[in-house]
A and B are shown apart, each in its own frame.
Chain A
Amino acid sequence: MSARRPGAFRRALRLTSARIALGIILLIVVLAFFGGVLAPQNPLAQNTNVVLQGPSSHHWLGTDYLGRDVLSRLMAGTGRSVAGALEAVGIGLLLGVLPGLASLWLGRTYEWISLRIVDAFMTLPYVVFAVAVTGFFGNSLIAAMTAVGVLISPLYFRVTRAAALGLTRTQYVEAAELFGSSRRRVLRTHLWSKILPTLAVTTAQALASALLIVSSLAFLGLGVEPPLPTWGELLSSDLDYLAQQPWAPLFPGLLIMLVAGALNAFADAIRDTGTTQVVAADPAEDASAEADEPIAVGIAPVAQPVLRVEGLRVTVNGGGTEAVHGVSFEVGRGEIVGLVGESGSGKSLTCRAVTGLLAPGCALSSGTVELLGEDETPPVDLAALDRAAWNKVRGPRIGIVFQDPASYLNPSIPVGKQLVETIRVHDKTLSRTAARQRAIELFASVGLRDAETVYRQYPHELSGGMAQRVLIAIAISGDPDLLIADEATSALDVLVQAEVLDLLRGLVRDRGLALLLVTHDLAVVAELCDRVLVCDRGRIVEQGPVANVWSELVGAES
């Protein structure tokens, strides 16, 4: 325990909280040794004239039911309280660490049995076990704290095992073994230096817990030898005189809290300084802050527009930086429009802004995003919607498909149920069976063979292509006018990608959808799109029919 790595220890002490905590701990250590000597009065001296008095100049913290000085009793009681906690933690350390290490090296049978023994210890509550052990062996502080120590050992067992398990999988230990170091040597040189800081943290926390347990037990009269004070025993006697001195438990209570708090703070300091690395704040991926001129490329009018974006600006970093500088475009019914650009060009932010799914810290700062209905229905201004209104747009009006489709489904619910949920949220009149029927039809319509089986499967049981088909089925379940695919085929292998693109093309043709395809893959654009918008540094720098833009782009790239 005293072999804490000086590095971790010294680094921890740079923190003010750690220094204060250490100060309190040292004070308690001094009190533990010399509390009885330093006490202003004899902690055992009774005086029936001053029973149950409040704080005064003579008795700073008042007197108890026998007229004894509370401050002196607190100071004198420190030793036994601390000794009890140390005994318990020491036993836990002895019984836990080596078996914990051994569980990794002595084979599976030992491992299984030792884990079951640890489980068995963990079914026993500290207090109940201590009551039993003092009942079996007679009431003494040593018996009570041995019982607690045995139950603390699983904590050390687990912590040691976990730390060693993590370490044996690091490459330098494997390398050391490969280079012919004996196992024991590897252990000595590498393992201990890694495990000791963990043990130091655990020990500080365990001491704090043990101190609370000692007090709990003393409160029950366990491990108490009557005239000699301990903190818990003080609390226990206070309880009988609550009517006269309702504030009396405050002093021992606060003292215990202070010490436990200091130990925990110290543990936190060691852990934090031992492991924390300063993580540089992620700079805005596409921050070009310069003021910008009006949009270079105007809107190309579209026959039957479904989506009209005008002068869209998006800020990131909580409004600090503008990343999309006035983007305008339209997408028409039955049209497939590609939005292309390198990563960081602002295409994903544009797509997120259009769907109202901007990440926290990002905001649509100006511009309009309109969703146009058929014929006479007035356009919906998406920029002004609140979350409740969005819930009526996403699904019935706009469907959205993402990259890495399985991650956009709830991992613990079968995919069929998630489709049924979506259907019934948007069409509340539909019965459960009807929705189920419709879900299976939808799955079949997006080319999922054996839709009944897929219905019952969980996201992790589906291949990437199947998951993307499921996501597409969900996206079109509300019969939307606009489908937005955000890198929807990027993670799929080439064959599956071609199939999904075919599916999308079929949906546009059969349902008259407008499709906005966000991608960095020019081949996909060339394959599928009618028109293309090229995004660069937050602006649309190029737009037009695929064939025209394609030749220019190839020229520019070469």
Chain B
Amino acid sequence: MSGFTGALRAAVRLVSVPVTVFLIATFSTYALGALGGANPAATVLGQDATAGQIAQLNHQFGLDKPFLVQYFDWLGHALTGNLGVSYFTSIPVATSIGQAFPVDLSLALLALGLAVVFGGAAGITAALRRGGWFDRAVSAVCSGLATVPPFLVGITLIVLFAVVFRLLPSGGYVPFTQDPGQWLRFAILPSIALSAEGAAAIARQLRTSLVGALQENYVLGAAARGLSVRRTLFRHVLRNAAGPALTVLGVQIPLLIGGAVVAEKMFALPGVAQLALQAGSERDVPVIQGALLVTIGVVLVSNIIVNAVLFRITPQARRGTRSARRRVTLPSVGGAAA
């Protein structure tokens, strides 16, 4: 009866919060950019510029309009794919980001995959052999990784695989579309470095929720019905225990992007972060705004995906009880790691 309207209402709920959050986030970052007081006209034109030239350039950049008008102009253009033009190179920001973004996307997806596979396998095995040596080893590695600066993992990998054994390049990049094999050679070390923290977080959360779930009656119920251990684990227990781990995954995504900045610098990758770093040192505001916008967009889209998956696997979320909704839309911070 209300299947369709229910789904519609749920969809509205899944989308309305991210839209508000998107507006708040872009508005405050845009306002910061305006407050920063970078004076591109003076910088671009040099000291000899006349007031008239400066005014003309400011007009060209739209900097003479009221702030709110600037923001909505920028947002409106951004939503149609126009992020403005770099103050210094006059290259459209969308073009630069369009070239750099695939680097991060391919790297982040590989890192996410590694984190899920290795973190998931470690968490599941630790939970099944609770108290055993493997469980203790996983706990030790996970709490160790929480105190390791993210770049130290990367440096260690470079030292081991590029300097000592000379198996992999220490930096550089080949696009996936050009040569997938070469892409993997360049992407694997940064991806491992990026995935370490996420893998640890997933392993820890999955272990905790699995240990809890394995003591639930429905696990006994599955045994009483004659279901195998494997079937019980993968079809029943994981489905219920995956929620918190997925939430952790959602929280990890901003951290993954933050880590990508460091990884890009360390492994000399031509990604968005390098672009932003370069723009930051030149105070090239449109490029920085573009990079921020892409970051906010990626985080929000991945949150929507995570919530949609959570919504699918947990009927409690579908019922829309207040507690369940809160759990789904507001993933709690699992520690303030970098």
List residues of chain A with CB under 8 Å of any chain B CB: 115-117, 119-129, 131-139, 152, 154-155, 158, 205-206, 208-210, 212-213, 215-216, 219-222, 232, 235, 238-239, 242-243, 246-247, 249, 253, 256-257, 260-261, 264, 355-357, 387-388, 390-396, 400, 402, 404, 407-413, 421-422, 425-426, 458, 460, 471, 474-475, 478
Of all chain B residues, which has the CB nearest A393?
B226
Chain A proximity mask over B188-226: 1 for CB below 8 Å, otherwise 0: 000000000000000000000000000011101111111
B231 touching A136, Cβ below 8 Å: no
Measured between beta carbons, the chain B residues less than 8 angstroms from A260 are 146-147
A135 touching B224, Cβ below 8 Å: no
Measured between beta carbons, the chain B residues less than 8 angstroms from A215 are 149, 151
A136 touching B224, Cβ below 8 Å: no
B254 touching A124, Cβ below 8 Å: yes
Measured between beta carbons, the chain A residues less than 8 angstroms from B225 are 394-395, 422, 425, 474-475
Given contacts A116-B21, A220-B265, contact A131 B276 (CB under 8 A): yes
Q: Which of B21, B227, B315 is the one whose CB lies under 8 Å from A458? A: B315
Measured between beta carbons, the chain A residues less than 8 angstroms from B220 are 357, 402, 408
Measured between beta carbons, the chain B residues less than 8 angstroms from A412 are 239-240, 313-316
Bound together, the chains give a CA A23 to CA B193 distance in angstroms of: 31
Whole-angstrom distance between the Cβ of B108 and the nearest chain A Cβ: 12
Known: A135-B279, A158-B332. 5 other contacts (CB 8 A): A127-B259, A131-B277, A155-B336, A253-B155, A475-B225
Of all chain A residues, which has the CB nearest B220?
A357
A128 touching B266, Cβ below 8 Å: no
B292 touching A128, Cβ below 8 Å: yes
A126 touching B228, Cβ below 8 Å: no
A392 touching B226, Cβ below 8 Å: yes
Interface size range on B against A? 35 or more
Measured between beta carbons, the chain A residues less than 8 angstroms from B265 are 219-220
B217 touching A408, Cβ below 8 Å: yes
B295 touching A127, Cβ below 8 Å: no
Chain A proximity mask over B14-27: 1 for CB below 8 Å, otherwise 0: 00010011101100
B316 touching A411, Cβ below 8 Å: yes
A137 touching B299, Cβ below 8 Å: no
Bound together, the chains give a CA A121 to CA B299 distance in angstroms of: 11
Given contacts A139-B281, A220-B265, A394-B224, contact A155 B333 (CB under 8 A): yes
Bound together, the chains give a CA A126 to CA B197 distance in angstroms of: 15
B261 touching A127, Cβ below 8 Å: yes
Bound together, the chains give a CA A251 to CA B8 distance in angstroms of: 56
Given contacts A394-B226, A410-B236, A421-B235, contact A117 B24 (CB under 8 A): yes
Measured between beta carbons, the chain A residues less than 8 angstroms from B223 are 356-357, 390, 394
Chain A proximity mask over B255-277: 1 for CB below 8 Å, otherwise 0: 10111011001100000010011
A128 touching B291, Cβ below 8 Å: yes
Whole-angstrom distance between the Cβ of B327 and the nearest chain A Cβ: 13
One of B42-50, B65-73, B111-119, B157-165 at the interface: B157-165
A128 touching B295, Cβ below 8 Å: yes
Q: Which of B21, B152, B164, B240 is the one whose CB lies under 8 Å from A123? A: B21
Chain A proximity mask over B295-315: 1 for CB below 8 Å, otherwise 0: 110011001000000000111
A-B contact count (CB 8 A): 257
B217 touching A209, Cβ below 8 Å: no
Whole-angstrom distance between the Cβ of B121 and the nearest chain A Cβ: 21
Measured between beta carbons, the chain B residues less than 8 angstroms from A458 are 315
B98 contacts partner chain A, Cβ-Cβ < 8 Å: no
Of all chain A residues, which has the CB nearest B232?
A410
Measured between beta carbons, the chain A residues less than 8 angstroms from B231 are 425
Bound together, the chains give a CA A471 to CA B24 distance in angstroms of: 50
B337 contacts partner chain A, Cβ-Cβ < 8 Å: yes
Of all chain B residues, which has the CB nearest A261?
B147
Query: Please, could you name 18 A-B residue pairs with CB atoms under 8 Å apart, sorted by A?
Result: A120-B21, A124-B299, A125-B299, A131-B291, A215-B151, A220-B265, A221-B277, A222-B280, A242-B155, A256-B149, A261-B147, A264-B143, A387-B228, A390-B226, A409-B221, A422-B226, A426-B226, A475-B224
Given contacts A127-B258, A394-B223, A408-B217, contact A132 B155 (CB under 8 A): no
Measured between beta carbons, the chain B residues less than 8 angstroms from A357 are 220, 223-224
Measured between beta carbons, the chain A residues less than 8 angstroms from B92 are none
Measured between beta carbons, the chain A residues less than 8 angstroms from B337 are 209, 212
Whole-angstrom distance between the Cβ of A5 and the nearest chain B Cβ: 22
Bound together, the chains give a CA A410 to CA B239 distance in angstroms of: 9
A132 touching B292, Cβ below 8 Å: yes
Chain A proximity mask over B159-178: 1 for CB below 8 Å, otherwise 0: 10011100000100000000
Chain A proximity mask over B111-155: 1 for CB below 8 Å, otherwise 0: 000000000000000000000000000000001001111111001
Measured between beta carbons, the chain B residues less than 8 angstroms from A409 are 218, 221
Of all chain A residues, which has the CB nearest B29?
A132
Report which residue of A119, A395, A413, A478 has the largest number of chain B beta carbons within 10 angstroms of its beta carbon.
A119
List residues of chain B with CB under 8 Å of any chain A CB: 17, 20-22, 24-25, 28-29, 32-33, 35-38, 143, 146-152, 155-156, 158-159, 162-164, 170, 216-218, 220-229, 231, 235-236, 239-240, 251, 254-255, 257-259, 261-262, 265-266, 273, 276-277, 279-285, 288, 291-292, 295-296, 299-300, 303, 313-316, 330, 332-333, 335-338
A264 touching B147, Cβ below 8 Å: yes
B336 touching A209, Cβ below 8 Å: yes
Given contacts A128-B273, A404-B217, contact A122 B149 (CB under 8 A): no
Measured between beta carbons, the chain A residues less than 8 angstroms from B29 are 124, 129, 132
B149 touching A253, Cβ below 8 Å: yes
A208 touching B25, Cβ below 8 Å: no
Bound together, the chains give a CA A357 to CA B255 distance in angstroms of: 43
B28 touching A235, Cβ below 8 Å: no
Report which residue of A132, A249, A260 has the largest number of chain B beta carbons within 10 angstroms of its beta carbon.
A132
Given contacts A115-B330, A136-B36, A235-B155, contact A128 B149 (CB under 8 A): no
Report which residue of A247, A408, A426, A460 has the largest number of chain B beta carbons within 10 angstroms of its beta carbon.
A408
Measured between beta carbons, the chain A residues less than 8 angstroms from B170 are 242
Measured between beta carbons, the chain B residues less than 8 angstroms from A232 are 149
B273 touching A131, Cβ below 8 Å: yes
Of all chain A residues, which has the CB nearest B259?
A127
Q: Which of B151, B158, B258 is the one whose CB lies under 8 Å from A128? A: B258
Q: Which of B28, B146, B258, B313 is the one whose CB lies under 8 Å from A264? A: B146
Bound together, the chains give a CA A123 to CA B236 distance in angstroms of: 32
B163 touching A124, Cβ below 8 Å: no
B254 touching A125, Cβ below 8 Å: yes
Whole-angstrom distance between the Cβ of B314 and the nearest chain A Cβ: 6
Whole-angstrom distance between the Cβ of B137 and the nearest chain A Cβ: 17
Whole-angstrom distance between the Cβ of A462 and the nearest chain B Cβ: 12
Bound together, the chains give a CA A260 to CA B150 distance in angstroms of: 12
Measured between beta carbons, the chain A residues less than 8 angstroms from B149 are 212, 215-216, 219, 232, 235, 253, 256-257
Measured between beta carbons, the chain B residues less than 8 angstroms from A123 are 21-22, 25, 254, 295-296, 299-300, 303
Given contacts A128-B291, A264-B147, A412-B314, contact A119 B240 (CB under 8 A): no
Bound together, the chains give a CA A125 to CA B272 distance in angstroms of: 13
Bound together, the chains give a CA A413 to CA B231 distance in angstroms of: 14
Measured between beta carbons, the chain A residues less than 8 angstroms from B282 are 135
Measured between beta carbons, the chain A residues less than 8 angstroms from B151 are 215-216, 219, 235
Given contacts A117-B24, A126-B338, contact A135 B226 (CB under 8 A): no
Bound together, the chains give a CA A220 to CA B262 distance in angstroms of: 7
A413 touching B236, Cβ below 8 Å: yes
Measured between beta carbons, the chain B residues less than 8 angstroms from A411 are 218, 240, 315-316
A216 touching B262, Cβ below 8 Å: yes
Whole-angstrom distance between the Cβ of B273 and the nearest chain A Cβ: 7
Whole-angstrom distance between the Cβ of A23 and the nearest chain B Cβ: 17
Measured between beta carbons, the chain A residues less than 8 angstroms from B315 are 411-412, 458, 460
